[in-house]
């Protein structure tokens, strides 16, 4: 007689017996290696998990979590906002199910985590972001080349600006500026370290001689009252276009990020430490499908999992 079982409602005794044998054999093995993956009672839409996210994306990730939880009231997602390097370390933290950072995993990291966790974490790009350059409202200059920024950061510039970042080490913004702008050169001793992206904006708003670097999600959403208050205190600088036929300066608007015209672009990635259909998988599905992608779009990031149309328009002035 053919038996039918319903997932999560009935487990055959034979399966429980075999599972017990597997656990006994695993516990008696000489390796003593314990898998870091912890199976919990969460599902795709219920339970509670902890995630670590790059602090420079706090506004948009807060929005994503708020909407997700409004749809799935039995779910709980507790976000810990940290410098990127600390988020990566959290992949070895049993309590952290997902990290959200500005890069994927290298081949060596995939091998390491596969050996350590006994399975391969999933990762992928969800959206494209940019680092915005902000100056005080009283600043004389608000147009720069990447070369100008490089010289400001390494201390060789004729500009008298004091550069301000969300830290000196460990953050994604710091890593990007060191790797993509300074190309391995060290920061000047003049570089100032704020404790957060909000701290950068506060510093620049109070010091006309400063220039700050923050993720665009902190100043891009004009529907956010907090970000609108920031924009009354600072100005967003324009940078020389990296993909234009003639000399043009552009701001970190969505179209300029999508068309690779704005030079300080970076990706936004998830790394999921889950090998079953738990709440981390449910939240990842949300982030990479329509509703989550629309939230990225409203935050003025470029959604990478849905098609974004950029249209040219002509303005005709009537007399």
% of the chain residues with pLDDT over 70:
80
Pinpoint the alpha helices (H) of 33-159.
58-71, 84-89, 107-117, 146-154
Residues 6 or more apart whose CB falls under 8 angstroms from that of 218 comprise 56, 58, 59, 132, 197, 198, 201, 227, 230
What CATH code is assigned to 130-264? Answer: 3.40.190.10
Is 29 or 107 the better-scoring residue by pLDDT?
107
Write down the pLDDT at residue 300.
87
For residue 18, what pLDDT is reported? 38
How wide is the angle at C-alpha 270 spanned by C-alphas 269 and 271, nearest 5°? 120
The 10s digit of each residue's pLDDT in 237-262 is 999 999 888 889 999 999 999 999 99
Residue 3 has pLDDT above 50, yes or no: no
For position 228, what pLDDT does the model report?
A: 62
Q: What is the pTM of this model?
A: 0.81
The closest of 166, 177, 169 to 199, measured between CA atoms, is: 166
**Mean pLDDT lowest among 69-73, 117-121, 122-126, 144-148:** 117-121
Question: Could you tell me the CA-to-CA distances from 231 to 132, 204, 219, 238, 279 in Å, in that order?
Answer: 12, 11, 7, 15, 36
Better-scored residue on pLDDT, 77 or 7: 77
Average pLDDT value over all residues in the chain = 84
Give the model's pLDDT for residue 309.
57
Query: Any idea how long the chain is?
Result: 319
What is the CATH code of the structural domain delimited by 37-128+267-303?
3.40.190.10
pLDDT, residue 221, reads 63
Q: Which residue has the higher pLDDT, 53 or 21?
A: 53
Look at residue 223 in the predicted model and tell me its pLDDT: 65
pLDDT in tens, 53-73: 999 999 999 999 999 999 999
> What would the mean pLDDT of 9-14 be, rounded to a whole number?
39
Residue 12's pLDDT band, with cuts at 50, 70 and 90, is very low
Give Dmax over CA atoms of the chain in angstroms.
87
* Residue that wins the pLDDT comparison between 18 and 128: 128
Look at residue 302 and tell me whether its pLDDT is greater than 80: yes
The span from the CA of 154 to the CA of 315, in Å, is 42
DSSP tally for the chain: helices H, then strands E: 11, 13
Locate the domains of the chain by residue range: 37-128+267-303, 130-264
Q: What is the pLDDT of residues 265-299, one digit of tens each?
A: 999 999 999 989 999 999 999 999 999 999 999 88
Give pLDDT, residue 143: 96
For 99, counting Cβ atoms within 10 Å of its Cβ (0-12 exposed, 13-18 middle, 19+ buried), the class is buried
CB atoms within 10 A of CB 13: 7
- Per the DSSP assignment, residues forming a β-bridge with 47 are 75
Do 265 and 258 touch, CB atoms closer than 8 A?
no
- What's the pLDDT score for residue 227? 59
pLDDT at position 226: 60
């Amino acid at each position: 007689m053919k038996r039918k079982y319903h997932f999560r409602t009935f487990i055959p005794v034979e399966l429980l017996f075999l599972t017990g044998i597997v656990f006994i054999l695993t516990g008696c093995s000489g390796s003593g290696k314990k898998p870091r993956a912890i199976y919990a009672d969460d599902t795709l839409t219920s339970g509670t998990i902890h995630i670590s996210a790059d602090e420079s994306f706090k506004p948009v990730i807060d929005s994503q979590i708020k909407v997700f939880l409004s749809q799935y009231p039995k779910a709980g997602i507790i976000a810990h906002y940290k410098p990127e390097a600390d988020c990566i370390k959290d992949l070895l933290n049993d309590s952290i199910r997902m990290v959200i950072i500005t890069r994927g995993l290298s081949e060596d990291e995939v091998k390491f985590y596969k050996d350590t966790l006994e399975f391969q974490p999933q990762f992928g790009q969800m959206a494209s972001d940019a680092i915005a350059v902000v100056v005080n409202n009283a600043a004389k200059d608000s147009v720069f080349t990447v070369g100008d920024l490089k010289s400001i950061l390494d201390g060789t510039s004729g500009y008298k600006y004091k550069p301000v970042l969300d830290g000196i080490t460990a953050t994604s913004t710091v890593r990007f500026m060191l790797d993509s702008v300074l190309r391995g050169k060290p920061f000047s001793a003049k570089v100032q370290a704020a404790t957060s992206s909000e701290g950068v904006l506060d510093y620049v708003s109070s010091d006309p001689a400063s220039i700050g670097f923050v993720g665009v999600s902190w100043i891009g959403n004009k529907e956010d009252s907090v970000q609108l208050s920031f924009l009354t205190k600072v100005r967003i600088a324009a940078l020389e276009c990296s993909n234009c036929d003639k000399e043009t300066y552009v701001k970190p608007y969505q179209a300029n990020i999508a068309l690779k015209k704005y030079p300080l672009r970076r990706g936004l990635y998830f790394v999921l430490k889950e090998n079953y259909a738990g709440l981390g998988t449910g939240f990842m599905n949300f982030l990479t499908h329509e509703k989550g992608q629309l939230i990225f779009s409203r935050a003025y990031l470029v959604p990478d999992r849905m098609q974004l149309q950029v249209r040219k328009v002509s303005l005709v002035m009537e007399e």
